[in-house]
Amino acid sequence: MKQDIDKTLALFPNVRHMLESIPQDLWDIFLPETDSDLAMLEADVIAQQKRDLERSKVMAVQKLCGFPLRPNEPILEVIARAKIQGMRNSKSSGDSTGDTQDAQ
């Protein structure tokens, strides 16, 4: 039985990687019955990994800019907010240096 599972999981490395964190005795609980269901699980694991990567990128930009952490926010929206904040900061710093030069 174990050899069959090992052969089957050789075709699905992402599922195998997911299962490595739990004891092998429990693998039967988490593994689907058919190969097609296992392929769907593999696709879901890949999609989750992509989502985790995007969430980590979003949170990194939010931390860098001092925004509240909202990991489900779209990355394009976060980048747009960061650009707007950068424009505001550069505009306000430009105005303050211009005022001091006029006063002298």
Backbone φ and ψ of 21, nearest 5°: -85, -5
**pLDDT score, position 1:** 52
Q: How many CB atoms lie within 10 A of CB 58?
A: 22
Backbone φ and ψ of 86, nearest 5°: -65, -40
Q: Are 78 and 47 in contact (CB under 8 A)?
A: no
Q: Render pLDDT for 10-48 as a digit per residue (tens, 0 to 9).
A: 889 999 998 998 998 888 888 888 889 999 999 999 999
HSE, side-chain direction, 13 A CA sphere, residue 11: 11
